[in-house]
Amino acid sequence: MLTIEVEFLLGRCYATDVTRRDEAEWPPHPARLFSALVNAVFDSPPESEASSIEIEALHFLEALDPPVIEASSATHRDVKVHFVPVNDTPKGADFHRVLPELRTRKERYFPSVTPENPMVRYGWPAAQPEARVAAALAVMSARIAYLGHSSSLVRVSVSDVGTRPSLVPTPGGSLILRVAGKGQLDALRHAWQVHRGTRTRTLPSRHVAYASPEPQPAVIPSGYFSDRWLVLRTVHSSGNRPLSIKSATVLTKALRDALLAALGRPSSPAISGHEADGSPSQSPHLAFIALPDVGHMHAHAGILGLALVSPVNLPADDERRLRQAVQSISRLYWSGGEIHVENLTERQERATLRSATWCRPSRAWATVTPFVFDRFPKSGRWGAEAESLVIAACAYAGLPKPRRVALVRISPVLGVPPVADFPLWVRKANAPARLQSHVVLEFDEPIAGPVLIGAGRFFGYGLCRPVRNLFAEDEDEG
High-pLDDT (> 70) share of the chain, %: 84
Read off the pLDDT band of 383 (50, 70, 90). Answer: confident
Of 413 and 86, the one with more pLDDT: 413
Tens of pLDDT, residues 288-336: 999 999 999 899 999 999 999 999 988 888 888 899 999 999 999 988 7
Q: Give the pLDDT score at 105.
A: 62
Q: Give the pLDDT score at 266.
A: 66
Q: In 10 A of CB 226, how many CB atoms? A: 19
Q: Give the pLDDT score at 247.
A: 92
Closest by Cα among 21, 5, 25, 31 to 13 = 25
Q: Is 199 left (phi over 0), alpha (psi -120 to 50) or beta?
A: beta
Q: Give the pLDDT score at 380.
A: 73
Mean pLDDT for the chain? 85
Q: Is the pLDDT of residue 371 over 90?
A: yes
Tens of pLDDT, residues 91-136: 555 555 556 666 666 666 568 889 999 999 999 998 999 999 999 9
Q: Give the pLDDT score at 111.
A: 81
On whether the CB atoms of residues 422 and 450 are closer than 8 A, the answer is no
Close Cβ partners of 59 (under 8 Å, ≥ 6 residues apart): 185
Q: Give the pLDDT score at 474.
A: 42
Q: Is the pLDDT of residue 48 over 50?
A: no
Closest by Cα among 362, 358, 361 to 350 = 358
Q: For the chain, state the CA radius of gyration.
A: 28
Average pLDDT of the segment spanning 248-273: 88
Q: Give the pLDDT score at 304.
A: 94
Close Cβ partners of 335 (under 8 Å, ≥ 6 residues apart): none
Q: Give the pLDDT score at 475.
A: 37
Tens of pLDDT, residues 49-72: 457 899 999 999 999 999 999 999
Q: Give the pLDDT score at 293.
A: 94
Q: Is the pLDDT of residue 47 over 70?
A: no
Tens of pLDDT, residues 442-474: 999 999 999 999 999 999 999 999 998 766 544
pTM (whole model) above 0.75: no
Q: Amino acid letter at 144? A: I
Highest mean pLDDT among 12-21, 182-191, 237-246, 392-401: 392-401
Report d(CA 226, CA 312) in Å as an integer: 5
Closest by Cα among 106, 111, 93, 84 to 14 = 111
Highest mean pLDDT among 33-42, 83-92, 195-204: 33-42
Closest by Cα among 121, 7, 8 to 67 = 121
Q: Is the pLDDT of residue 259 over 60?
A: yes
Q: Is the pLDDT of residue 478 over 50?
A: no
Q: In 10 A of CB 407, how many CB atoms? A: 20
**Count of all residues that appear for the chain in the document:** 478
Report d(CA 378, CA 385) in Å as an integer: 8
Strands 119-124 and 2-8: antiparallel
Of 258 and 472, the one with more pLDDT: 258
Closest by Cα among 143, 224, 188, 210 to 395 = 224
Q: Give the pLDDT score at 216.
A: 64
On whether the CB atoms of residues 464 and 453 are closer than 8 A, the answer is yes
High-pLDDT (> 90) share of the chain, %: 54
Read off the pLDDT band of 476 (50, 70, 90). Answer: very low
Read off the pLDDT band of 161 (50, 70, 90). Answer: confident
Read off the pLDDT band of 75 (50, 70, 90). Answer: confident
Q: Give the pLDDT score at 349.
A: 67
Report d(CA 156, CA 147) in Å as an integer: 9
Range scoring the smallest mean pLDDT among 49-53, 232-236, 364-368: 49-53
